[in-house]
Amino acid sequence: MVHLPKILPSIARRASTSNGPIDTSRPNLVFRKAKVLGKSVEDLRSLNVPVPKFRGEAVFGIYPVREALAAGKRTFFALYIKDSVRSRSKDDERIAAILDHARILGLPVKRLTHSQFDKITDFQLHN
């Protein structure tokens, strides 16, 4: 029997399927990002960024992922982590705990760029 470290529950943020986001009532940050980059929303959405295909449901955010791992009620296929977040794992115990869980469960940890996460989450918040 595998004993996983205790993770305290947190607030869930957002879930998505391989067909796209479930919650469409949240404010979309694509408009702000387009303005900052000096591009139109259409240009930003049409960028050809390769993204992985998901099996099942995707959970985004440090706290939702921690809680999903702690609950142990989901089947996990992989852990996708942003390059900039991976580099903080030595300083951030939340990220270290997620990576420890992934290692214990034998999950492949795959690195994605910020642009890939933007595309996957439809420009919603992700960290």
Average pLDDT over residues 38-43: 72
Domain presence at residue 70: yes
Q: Using DSSP bridges, classify how beta strands 109-112 and 79-82 pair: parallel, antiparallel or unpaired.
A: parallel
Q: What is the reported pLDDT for 58?
A: 84
For residue 50, tell me if it sits in a domain: no
47: in domain: no
- Does residue 37 belong to any structural domain of this protein? no
What CATH code is carried by the domain that includes residue 63? 3.30.1330.30
Range of the domain at 69: 55-127
**Looking at residue 46, what is its pLDDT?**
65
User: pTM, whole model, 2 decimals?
Assistant: 0.61
Residues 116, 108: Cα–Cα separation, whole Å: 18
Tell me, yes or no, whether 7 lies in a domain: no
Is residue 60 assigned to a domain? yes
pLDDT tens, residue by residue, 77-108: 999 888 888 777 778 899 999 999 999 999 99
Q: Where are the beta strands (DSSP E) in the chain?
A: 14-17, 20-21, 57-60, 79-82, 109-112
Count the domains in the chain.
1
Maximum mean pLDDT: which of 24-38, 39-53, 63-77 = 63-77
Distance of alpha carbon 18 from alpha carbon 117, whole angstroms: 13
Between residues 25 and 81, the one the model is more confident about: 81
Separation between Cα atoms, residue 110 and residue 89, nearest integer Å = 14
Q: DSSP letters of 74-103?
A: S----EEEEHHHHTTTTT-HHHHHHHHHHH
In a domain, 40, yes or no: no
Query: Strand pairing partners for 20?
Result: 17
Q: How many residues does the chain have?
A: 127
Please check whether residue 69 lies inside any domain of the structure. yes
Q: With bands split at pLDDT 50, 70 and 90, how would you rate the model's confidence at 47?
A: low
